[in-house]
Amino acid sequence: MSAAAKRSLSSTGRSISPPALRRKVSHTAEEDAHVASTWPAHLGQLRIFSWNVNGVGPLLQTPLSFGPGSLSPLRSFLKRHQWPQLLCLQEVKVSSKDVGTQRQLHQAANHGHAAGEPTYTVHFSLPRDQYNATGFGGKVHGVASFLRDDFASGVRVTRRPEWDLEGRVLIHEHEVGLVIVNGYWVNGTSIPYRDPVTGQISGTRHDHKLRFHQHMLEEVLQHEAEGHHVILIGDMNVARSRIDGHPNLRTSPLQHVRNRADFNSKFFDEPNGMRGIDIFRHTHGNTKKFTYYPRGSAWGASCDRVDLIIISHALVDDPGVVTGTDILDSALERGHSDHVPLWISLDLAKLAARNARRSELLVASGSTWLAPRSGETIIRPDFPSSFTW
């Protein structure tokens, strides 16, 4: 058996999700026809959304109406964007011990589920660092990925890497040869960073950010060496160049400039790095759009493009694999947060075809997949695998 097959069979990453929320309501033919017309609008497209929500509380609000069509704010977001297969949230601010909120977030994604509409399963990576992620009762950082259940069936592995103790990374490996990394990247500051084992001060969070870059690059290169295509998506806490900051690009203190240079080097410029594609720039050129709009300023007075989608170069070598991408830069889409969502869509059939061709070449050459990383563990969601509803 190949290493890839072993990896797939040993995966415990697919969660045993709580049962989908089902309300005892009737639906008219007109309502069902509306569902049929909105859901298949992107048939054959893999659509991935990302949003730094700056806390999930507002997404859990109980709808004022409980009749047909009554949706939670989270479910409304998913429906408005025609049920993306994957929604990656960052900065969810949920404690790893707070099982109740984790359960509520799953409920919110499925609240108001109508006949014929998709359901979602949520995975979490939440802080488990006893020295560096303890503020607000552990309600800092954190990422959550909502996988549409029909899409989740093709996800072989969902895991958090062992090096990430602050709840910043979730990795989803799909059978079409695509690896999607939901990340809330470290923000560099002069605040001391403590060794997660000893608790002793070990530099600053600027140093921690640079280490995070290195860990993430190694993760990417490992997957690309295995023949996978990688999508890095999320809040990367760095604006790449002058065009990505308004009215100015942050250059003080100087360490921010060094952090930016390190980021661009590792993921775009250096021959031994990822050599990735900033898909928004690749698609939209010098269009000025931003993702971070602080709430203390008038809309557009100060903003930065710090949420990015970086993809393996091979995904743009084959025309038509990437079918669209954009930033939803409006106050409406920002909602309660200080970031706006962004998205990418890909042609699933072409991805599957590329994966099949790669497998044929591997078989013909006698090559095999690389074995899983030593000591790697596959994770389940941070909440228990089942609940009584």
Q: Is 317 annotated as ligand-binding?
A: no
Angle at 158 between CA 101 and CA 211, to 5 degrees: 90
Q: What share of the chain is helix, strand, coil (3-state, %, to 5)?
A: 30, 20, 45
Q: Quick one: DSSP state of residue 265?
A: I
Interatomic CA distance for residues 167 and 91, integer angstroms: 9
User: Distance between the two ends of the chain, CA-based, in angstroms?
Assistant: 40
Q: Is 91 annotated as ligand-binding?
A: yes
**3-state secondary structure (DSSP) of residue 194:** strand
Interatomic CA distance for residues 117 and 11, integer angstroms: 28
Phi (first) and psi of residue 110, to 5 degrees: -115, 0
Instruction: Supply the DSSP string of 205-250, one letter for each residue.
Output: HHHHHHHHHHHHHHHHHHHHHTT-EEEEEEE-S---SGGGEES---
Q: Is 54 annotated as ligand-binding?
A: no
Comparing CA positions, the residue from 49, 54, 124 lying closest to residue 92 is 54
**Residue 164: half-sphere exposure toward Cβ, Cα within 13 Å:** 31
Q: Which amino acid is at 316?
A: V
Interatomic CA distance for residues 307 and 341, integer angstroms: 8
**Active-site position among 106, 164, 213, 235:** 235
Phi (first) and psi of residue 316, to 5 degrees: -105, -5
Q: Is 235 a catalytic residue?
A: yes
**Active-site position among 184, 193, 292, 293:** 184
Q: Is 264 annotated as ligand-binding?
A: no
Q: Quick one: DSSP state of residue 339?
A: B
**Active-site position among 123, 228, 229, 339:** 339
Q: Per the structure block, which two tokens stand in for 163?
A: 């090096």
Q: Is 235 annotated as ligand-binding?
A: yes
CB within 8 Å of 40: residues ≥ 6 apart: none
Interatomic CA distance for residues 163 and 174, integer angstroms: 22
Residue list, annotated binding site for Mg(2+): 52, 91, 235, 237, 338-339
Catalytic residue positions?
184, 235, 339
